[in-house]
Structure 1
């Protein structure tokens, strides 16, 4: 029932006698519903399954164009609605870079345009350092169901590098930086 809510991530934490659920979404109003009735239905459904107290926190995604899951779902939805796969990718790349990403890579694969032979096509804009361990890269996949089969969508979004805090350690006669 969270189909149209643009959910990018769900984090479930199980504690001693309760279950904390964090839902990251671009459209929190759809999950909450009028007067919070939809979120209560969701809470009660989950409570029946886990037999514990359930606490649901909904966190609004401020920049949905920087979430790889939402971008991949957007491209898949456009392909399902018979949009050209190249235009869908280029539109997603433009909006993601405008939102502040340093780079984005998108790949679609399958029977593109209804072709008899399946193939893979992708676009990369900016930098996407997949071999750098400290790179903050958000990756997600999605599928588009079309009349001629499924089309897979993969998205990598590079947001910058995660730099550890430099701590200066003074020990004995050596001074060094622990990074």
Structure 2
């Protein structure tokens, strides 16, 4: 058998096992299967949200699945392990199965699709897409898409980080197909840079790291500071605070304005006194003259 035919046979058998387990473990929240071939055995790891349903009472379901895998699918020395899904809201197979079962119970597809979309995004997914196809609300078939966030459709991010699952709901009008794509929080998209915050320092590290001591200028001996020539009171106050000096505020110097020399006029009283002094000798001379005239007239008459 060539390598191509060998890998085709292995993958087709894995797909058949996956479909069989999805039907058998529908109530257990089946989320996928991994087949690991080893020298002494073949491990079959079943992922489910409810491991107790997969195991069954006293392991009855596990024994039944082991018998079917060995006889119907031709797997030798099967050992089944059950792994619980930590966060079923980020598993596309679980969400597709849950939506299909709710549609079969009669729940409206829009209400259930939006509810699952919100819960998936609340669980931390980068993006989620739900596609429902079939006879939804009319005679003719159509599809309805519900999307939130970012979903990679091509390239390596789509192959590595997008979880894809399909399921179907069988109703009276016909079959409704369901497709769910979920991009988990661990996806690394090209062009997206995540900056990590700095780690907080411990108290011990903060105590060990000391600030460098500041260089204090040494005082020069033999130099006395003088405050002559400092006229700004604010500067003197600063020096007072630094050196403990008492500041004595000097009164501001009054600049005498030189007035132009003007002749002082005597006041009115002095002027009247001067007039009286000058008028008194004049009156005495007049009286003396009048007396002489009187004497002359008397002498002439006699």
TM-score of the superposition, structure 2-length normalised?
Answer: 0.50
Higher relative contact order (CA 8 A, sep 6+): 1
2:187 is equivalent to residue 161 of structure 1: yes
RMSD value, Cα: 1.8
Residue 174 of structure 2 corresponds to 149
- Structure 2: distance between partners of 1:27 and 1:55: 19
Residue 85 of structure 2 corresponds to 61
* Residues 42, 75 of structure 2: 8 Å contact kept: no
Question: Please, which of 148, 152, 157 is the counterpart of residue 134 of structure 1?
Answer: 157
Residue 47 of structure 2 corresponds to 24
- Structure 1: distance between partners of 2:132 and 2:143: 6
* Residues 17, 52 of structure 1: 8 Å contact kept: no
- Structure 1: distance between partners of 2:135 and 2:114: 19
Give the superposition deviation at 1:40.
2.0
Residue 234 of structure 2 corresponds to none
- Structure 2: distance between partners of 1:65 and 1:122: 19
- Structure 2: distance between partners of 1:35 and 1:42: 14
Structure (1 or 2) with the greater strand fraction:
1
Give the superposition deviation at 1:128.
1.2
Unaligned runs of 5+ in 2: 1-23, 190-302
Describe how 1:79-158 pairs up with structure 2 within 5 A: 79-113=103-137, 115-135=138-158, 136-158=161-183
Q: Secondary structure at the match of 1:89?
A: helix
TM-score of the superposition, structure 1-length normalised?
Answer: 0.83
- Number of aligned residues: 162
Unaligned runs of 5+ in 1: 164-179
